[in-house]
Amino acid sequence: MNFDIYKIREDFPILSQQVNGKPLVYFDNGATAQKPKAVIDAEVKYYSEINANIHRGVHHLSQVATDAYEEARLKVQKHINAPNSFEILFTSGTTFGINLVANGFGQMLKPGDEVIVSHLEHHSNIVPWQFACERSGAVLKVIPMLQDGTLDMEAYDALLSERTRIVAVNHISNALGTINPVKSMIEKAHKVGAAVLIDGAQAVPHLKPDVQDLDCDFYVFSGHKICGPTGTGVLYGKEKWLNQLPPYQGGGEMIKEVTFEKTTYACLPHKFEAGTPNIAGGIVLGVAIDYLNAVGFDNIAAYERELLDYATERLSSLEGIEFYGTAGEKASVISFNFKGLHPYDVGAIIDKLGIAVRTGHHCAQPIMNFYGIPGTIRASFSFYNTKEEIDRMIEALKKAQQMLS
Amino acid sequence: MFDDWMERYEYIIELGKSLPLIEDQYKKEENLIKGCQSQVWLHAEKQNGKIIFTADSDAILTKGIIAILIRTFSNQDPAEVMNADTSFVDEIGLKEHLSPTRANGLVSMIKQIKLYAIALQAN
């Protein structure tokens, strides 16, 4: 399949915007991805043509909307190779999905049980587990990180024990781009009888996860990072786990029978989908997945690799550059600083030149504490970025260095 | 005042260099202004009935911004500081620094300055 970057860029209306009088260079894809016209149009089409509440009605529109929503669920199932569609829960995002699981575990864990997270986690894959441990008396353990931004696998082996109930780790680090060896981590966890939740938020824009191949117990991600709408996401859970977990939110749709004496719950997936969901969002998330598959993940991976290598090379030539996260296996994310310069200062100045990067702790304060820094400048690339944009960022960075010295 | 952002930022950076620096003994956790991506320490004292501010930051632009605020508010009666109109911020082109993102703490800095003024007026 031909990968024509300029043609692809035409699919994204926002990329032709100007910022502060300069063409937008959007390198904050780790925070959220831009949307192709197909996705934007699908949202408009939903509200113009088929909007109705789903699973509840007997009239024509409600049937059409329900079918479209359930078709989207099948698309997600196929995309991540889940065995059953009822194991795909639509959520409002990764954070919600993790909270759903952690809340359930918080009710099931006993004092002395252990939960393992890693030093590389986003706050959304730390705090819900802290809640769960506080609530249950379980203990939180942390896989340490190494200077190059990878996890200490020997330490991981030592942490695992028959007291471990669940391991929660990210597939790809949002702050550093490190790709974690999740498949082997899952195998090891299963040997001691622990479940594994994989935070796939940063992974799904770059690769197609195969949850059966990984054999993870839970896989979570957000729609807005894969060119879908904000307020959407997916939690995949193995049937046996979703049946064990107590419901998270109560209300309509997740029930079988309601009386004031006792209420019984619906079966999967509805047990975890209380209230009216983001119907448009779910359907349009399916459209985003279709779009990405049409571009082709092999093409995406190869092209993003080129961008990563080119950017790393050009950045390396800048005076005082310091890289964070230099793992052998990385996604197209670069975190860096200039010696003696605060990342905020640099980011604020290059913003004036149209360059959008993220500065700060990236919701990963433990990583920043490890390096002893207030934050980093993070450039995160997507398949619709170009080498010319990287060149513009380099020029802007030089300008910032000049002004700040 | 400045149309060109570069001139404006260069001015801010320059102003930062003349910031009345906070003494090390006051560079403590409780004097940190919350809501800034960079660290900003602010200290206030009453001298001869006037409120005197000193500050520091680990980011250059933030140093400049707090320097502008200190130039405006320092060496005034606490009551005047409490009631001061902050529309000048917009006039000198720092409007984007007023947006409530976490990145800049301009709103927080102004709030803290006014809180100090209230406290010192009471004394």
Tens of pLDDT along chain A (405 residues) come to: 468 999 999 999 999 999 988 999 999 999 999 999 999 999 999 999 999 999 877 899 999 999 999 999 999 999 999 999 999 999 999 999 999 999 999 999 999 999 999 999 999 999 999 999 999 999 999 999 999 999 999 999 999 999 999 999 999 999 999 999 999 999 999 999 999 999 999 999 999 999 999 999 999 999 999 999 999 999 999 999 999 999 999 999 999 999 999 999 999 999 999 999 999 999 999 999 999 999 999 999 999 999 999 999 999 999 999 999 999 999 999 999 999 999 999 999 999 999 999 999 999 999 999 999 999 999 999 999 999 999 999 999 999 999 998
> Are B62 and A403 within 8 A, CB to CB?
no
Cis ω for the linkage preceding A144 (within 30 of 0): no
Backbone angle region of A355, left / alpha / beta, with phi > 0 → left and psi within -120 to 50 → alpha: beta
In CATH, the architecture of A41-293 is 3-Layer(aba) Sandwich (3.40)
Portions of chain A given CATH number 3.40.640.10: 41-293
- Measured CA to CA, the distance from residue A110 to residue A199 in angstroms comes to 24
Amino acid at A256: K
- Measured CA to CA, the distance from residue A73 to residue A66 in angstroms comes to 11
> Are A344 and B9 within 8 A, CB to CB?
no
Query: Cα dist. A393→A144, A326, B4 in Å?
Result: 33, 20, 20
The complex scores an ipTM of: 0.87
Portions of chain A given CATH number 3.90.1150.10: 5-31+296-404
> Are B59 and A344 within 8 A, CB to CB?
yes
CATH 3.90.1010.10 fits B5-122, yes or no: yes
Q: How is residue A108 written in tokens?
A: 């099931």
CB contacts of B59 in chain A (<8 Å) are: 342, 344-345
Of A245, A246, A263, A265, nearest to A255 by C-alpha is: A265
Of A288, A329, A385, A313, nearest to A3 by C-alpha is: A385
Respond yes or no: is residue B68 known to be catalytic. Answer: no
- Measured CA to CA, the distance from residue A89 to residue A241 in angstroms comes to 13
What three-state secondary structure class fits A20?
coil
Q: Is 0.90 topped by the overall pTM? A: yes
Residue among B9, B58, B103 minimizing CB distance to A403: B9
CATH class, A5-31+296-404 region:
alpha beta
- Measured CA to CA, the distance from residue A401 to residue B15 in angstroms comes to 18
- Measured CA to CA, the distance from residue B83 to residue A110 in angstroms comes to 56
Of B66, B71, B101, B72, nearest to B85 by C-alpha is: B72
